[in-house]
A and B are shown apart, each in its own frame.
Chain A
Amino acid sequence: MKLGKILSTLFFWIVGIVTIAPFVVIAGVSVNERKSLTFPPEGFNLGWYGDLFLDPEWREPLLTSLTIAICASLLAVLIAFPVAWFNWRYRTGFGKLVAGLGAMPFLLPPVITAMGFLTFFIILGYYGEFWTVVVAHAIFLVTLPLVSLSLGFEDIDTSLVEASRSMGASEATVLRTVVMPMIRPYVISGFCFVFVISLNEYIIAVMTVGAVFETLPMKIFNALRYGYTPVMAAASVVFVASTVLIFSLVAAFSDLPKLLGARSK
C-alpha cells in the first residue's frame, strides 16, 4: 500500500522536474561569461540581458512583439465583450452563431488560419502592413476572452441586476455600475491570455508581416539557425519569466482552477 504512494509521488515529481528542467538550463546558459553554449555556466555575466534591451538588433524585435501583443489583446477583448454580453442578456440563435464562429480559429491548426490571412492580405494588397498582424492575432485568439467573459457573465448574481433595474437604472447604468465591477477580473484575464499567446506566436506573424517586421520569436528562431548567441537565452528567460508572472497575476486575481474548468468546491 505504501509502495503505491511512493511510486505516485515519484512519478509526479519526475514529470514536474522534466517540465521545468529546460528553463533551468536556459537560465544557466544565459549567464555564461563568454559567448559559449555550456551548462553548467562558465563564469558569471549578466551582460547578455543588457544587450537584449540596449542592442537595437534585439530591442526592436522586443518592442515590435510588445506593441503587437498590446494592440491585439485590446482588440480581441473589444470584439469578445459585446458577444459575451449579448449572449448573457438575450437568448438568440444569431448570438450563439457568432460565439461559435469566434471559437473556430482556435480549434484548427494555426498554420491553416495563417494561410487564410496570407492569401487574403496578398489579394487585397495589404501584405506586410503592421495592422494586419494585429487584426490576425485578435481574430485568432478571440476565443480566449470569449470563454473567460462568458464564464464571468454566468457568475453574475442576477438579483443585483434585477434590483438596480427595478429602481429605475437604464441598461447603460446597469452595465457601468453593476456588471462592469463584477466582470472586470474576467476582462483582465481574457486580456492577459491573448497578450501572452500573441507575444509568443510565430506562424501567423510570419505569414502576415514576416517579410517586413521581425518579432522576438522570429528573431530567436533566426538566431538559432544562423549561429548561437547567449542573448537568445537571455531573451528566452525574460519571456518565460513574464509569461509565468502574468499567469501568476491571473491566478492571484481570479480563481484559476475554476477558469480552467474545475468543479468549484
Chain B
Amino acid sequence: MIQSRPRTPLGYLPILLPAFALIAFYIVPFGSMVGMSFFHNLGGGAYEQVFTLENYARLVSPFFLSVLGTSFEVAFLVALFAIVIGFPFTYLLVNARRGTQVFWLIVMLSVLSLSEAIIGFAWSTLLSRTAGIGVLFEALGLTEKAQSYAPSLGAVLAGVTYIAMPYAVLLLYPILSRIEPDIEQASRTLGASPLRAFFNVIVPMHRTPIVVSFVMIFVFTLGSYLLPQILGRPTNWTLSVVISDQALLQSNMPFAAALSIFLMTVTILLVLLVTLINRKGAKA
C-alpha cells in the first residue's frame, strides 16, 4: 500500500501548497530578520540598508552581558527546580490510576497553554499583601504582619518554575510511562524500599532523559517573556524581554534582530548538544 513516491509529478500537488506556506511565511521572515540584523539603526523605527556589524558589536557591552547573565541564571535555576519537582511527580503520575493520570495531564496542559499574562496576574495576586500567602502566613502566625513578596528575583523564579514544571512533566511522561514494571518489582524483591528503588534504580537509569529534559527546559525558560516583567524588577529582565523592549519601545529593529539571532544561535547549539547527549545515551 505504501508507495515510495507519487506516480506523476501532479501527485506532489497536495504537499506543495503547505510547503509554499511554510517557506513564504517562515523561512522568508527568518531571512528578513537576518538581513535586518546587519542594517544601521537611524532611531525612531527607521533604519538604513547598509551592511554593518555594529549591532553584533553591541552584544559584548557590559549591559548585555549582565542581561545574559540574568537570563542564564534564571533559566538554569528554573530548569533545576522543574526537574527536581517534575521528575518524581511524573514518576508517581505514570504509576497512578488512568483517571488520575488524565486529570493531571489536563491540568498540566492547561497551565502550559495559559497566557503568561494570566499566570503572572495569578502569581502577583498570590504573592501580594492583601490576597495571597502573606495573608496565610499572618493567619498562621508565621509573620507578624502580611507583606508582599513581589517584585523580586524569588517571585520570578517561582512564577517561571510554575510554568516550566508542566513542561517538564509533559517531556518526561512518555519516557517514564515506558518503564517496565518488572524493574521496580525486581529491586523490591531484592529488599529495596520504594523510596530506595526510586533513588538508586529509577533515577540513575534515566540519567540521559534527565539531562536532555534539563536542556529543553532551559531553552523553554529563555523564551519566558511576561513573567519577568510582571513579577520582577528591570534588573531581573531576561533576554526575551530585552529583545521585545528594543523592538517595540526603543524602536531599534536592527539591534533587536541581532539579539534574536544571538538567542537563536544559543538555542540551536543547546538543541544540538541534546541530540549529541541522546545519541551517546542510546549507545551506552
Contact = CB atoms under 8 A, between A and B. Distances in A.
Nearest to A121: B29
Interface in A83-128: 83, 85-86, 89-92, 94-95, 98, 101-102, 104-105, 107-123
Given A90-B2, A119-B36, A202-B116, A85 B14 contact: yes
A220 B121 contact: yes
A202 B220 CA distance: 15
A79 B6 contact: no
A116 B30 contact: yes
A260 B114 contact: no
From B1, B110, B126, B230, residue with most partner A Cβ within 10 Å? B110
Contact of A101 (B26, B33, B120): B26
Nearest to B35: A119
A8 B87 CA distance: 12
A209 to B, nearest CB: 12
B230 to A, nearest CB: 6
A104 B271 CA distance: 12
B174 interface: yes
Contacts of A201: 115
Contacts of B263: 109, 111-112
A135 B226 contact: no
B124 interface: yes
A248 B89 CA distance: 21
Interface string B1-40: 1111110000110110111011101111110110110000
Q: Give the secondary structure class of A's interface.
A: helix
Contacts of A158: 1
From B15, B111, B124, residue with most partner A Cβ within 10 Å? B15
A261 interface: yes
A39 interface: yes
A229 B121 CA distance: 11
B131 A98 contact: no
Contact of A19 (B11, B33, B107, B260): B107
A107 B240 CA distance: 15
Nearest to A257: B101
Contact of B131 (A12, A37, A111, A135): A37
A260 B5 contact: no
B170 interface: yes
A108 B267 contact: yes
Interface residues of A, number: 97
Interface string A1-40: 1011101100110011011111101101100000011110
A185 interface: no
A263 B22 contact: no
Contacts of B162: 18-19, 22
B257 A119 contact: yes
Given A79-B22, A200-B118, A262 B110 contact: no
A121 B12 CA distance: 29
Interface stretch (B55-63, B202-210, B241-249): B241-249
A96 B2 CA distance: 15
A107 B271 contact: yes
Interface in A68-93: 79-80, 82-83, 85-86, 89-92
A82 B32 contact: no
Contacts of B165: 15, 19
Nearest to A87: B15
Contact of A247 (B17, B110, B120): B110
Contacts of A210: 248
B106 A251 contact: yes
Nearest to A107: B271
Nearest to A65: B115
From B101, B223, B230, residue with most partner A Cβ within 10 Å? B223
Contacts of B101: 257, 262
Contacts of B257: 115, 119
B273 interface: no
A52 interface: no
B98 interface: yes
Contact of B177 (A22, A94, A135, A257): A257
B195 interface: yes
Contacts of A5: 194
Contacts of B27: 101
From A7, A119, A206, A207, residue with most partner B Cβ within 10 Å? A119
Given A116-B30, A221-B226, 5 more contacts: A28-B131, A80-B18, A90-B6, A91-B4, A108-B264
Interface of A: 1, 3-5, 7-8, 11-12, 15-16, 18-23, 25-26, 28-29, 36-39, 79-80, 82-83, 85-86, 89-92, 94-95, 98, 101-102, 104-105, 107-123, 135-136, 139, 142, 158, 161-162, 165, 196-197, 200-203, 206-207, 210, 216-218, 220-221, 224, 232-233, 236, 239-240, 243-244, 247-248, 251, 256-257, 260-263
5 contacts: A112-B260, A139-B21, A161-B1, A200-B113, A202-B115
